[in-house]
Amino acid sequence: MKKKLIIGAALLVTLGVAGLALNNKSEEKKVRLEKIVKGDMEESLVFEGIVEPKETLPLYVGVPAVVDKFLVNEGSEVSAGDGLLEFSAGSKMELERELQMLDLDMKSVEMQIQDLNSGSMKLELDNKQLELTRLEEEIKGMNRKLKVVSFEAQTFRQQADVKMDLLKQQGVSSVEANASLSDANRKEMELEDLKTTLDLSRQKYELMVLSYERLKRELNLQASNIKGTLKKLSLTREDLAEKLSKVGESLKSPIDGIVTGIYVEQGTPISAGARIMEIAVMGENKIKMEIPVYQAKWVVPGQKASITMRDSAEATTYEGTVKSVSKAAKVVKTGNYEDRIIEVEVSLENSSGLKPGYATTVEIAGNSREQVKLVDSIAVMEENGKNYVYVYEGEKVKKTLVEIGAKTLSKYEVLNLDEGTEIVLNTYQVKDGDRVVALKD
């Protein structure tokens, strides 16, 4: 009995092993393999590019307002004169109130100008003008009198000198000689007093002129400032009146183009000067790319580029030229992964049909490369900014990081794997660690 049990157990073990072998056999996946081999390639770098407008026109709101309704969306094509959005009635009422306040300010300034023309400062200026006129006439009179008194003083002194000589010769009495001398001295004193008075009057006149000019400048400065204020208020009023007329109707597009950005929300108050929308000039686009730093050395301004955009099942190709390559790298983070990239701009000979935001494939032609290690492009997977392949190792596949150099649409240059390494082509059918069976050609 015991012997029968041992035989039965052995039979079950045999059947189990056979079943496990069958299960393992059934779990094996069939893969197509290709070896990494050396070969020549026409250097052709392939990148993803994004269509960007060559020129955009930002639109701003000149006054505080509230958007009542948008008439377009981002991506909408518009023609010059098309309505873009409508403002609420409250925006118009606010402008009307500001216009009324501005009118009051202008009336106040106009009254200040009237006060300058007839106020106390103007009256003081007129009084000083009259005083200057009086002083001028007074000085003129003293100058005339000075000539007469000067002549009289000179004559009296001559007469006094003659009589003093006659007195020495006893030709006149001492009383007469002394009287003549006193008259000469008195006339000379009168002359000196007149000169002193004239000098004081001239000084007073000069000070009066300075005071008059200062007051005149002050009055003119005030008049200039007030008139300048009135001019500013007038211009502001014209601007407000124009804005009021526009707020009452929809905001119009100034150009033919595509709406590439809307920066305000419906029903939300927006302040004066806020950027509300952006429109790209129709038909004028460029391609922006971000390429890995290690590939940047192969991209230089002036290289020819072929740009392909797929729209549904159709593909359209455009010709372009590398316009600029950034001199500085930029760090880009994707999850825990960090990479350094270089920004590249490609100009287009004709961008008709391209739309901002669309993704394109950009192929940049380069020099011929001889005897580099090559792998089929379909064998390479990209995850989180890194490239991987499945390496065939006996009966299993191993997910392996691969460094890629130059690219064409069909072949990639391999930098870190050995020649002869077998790579899985149908990568979508396997995962890391799968048991596989290589298909025969």
Alpha-carbon dihedral 131, 134, 136, 138, rounded to 10 degrees: -130
Structure confidence at residue 3 (pLDDT): 39
Give pTM, 2 decimals.
0.45
175 in Cβ contact with 237 (< 8 Å): no
Structure confidence at residue 321 (pLDDT): 92
User: How far from 301 is each of 5, 106, 286, CA to CA, in Å?
Assistant: 84, 59, 14
Structure confidence at residue 189 (pLDDT): 94
Q: How many Cβ atoms sit within 10 Å of the Cβ of residue 272? A: 11
Structure confidence at residue 420 (pLDDT): 93
CB proximity list for 340: less than 8 A, separation 6 or greater: 292, 293, 329, 330, 331, 332
Amino acid identity for residue 319 in this structure: E
pLDDT per 10-residue tile (average), the chain, 441 residues? 41 43 60 91 81 87 80 89 82 74 85 76 83 91 92 92 88 88 91 92 91 86 85 82 70 87 86 87 86 84 87 78 90 77 90 82 80 92 90 92 83 92 92 89 62
Structure confidence at residue 91 (pLDDT): 67
CB proximity list for 139: less than 8 A, separation 6 or greater: 198, 201, 202, 205
SS (H, E, C) 66-85: EEEEECCCCCCEECCCCEEE
Quick one: tokens of 347? 């100009």
Sort residue 81 into left (φ over 0), alpha (ψ -120 to 50) or beta: left
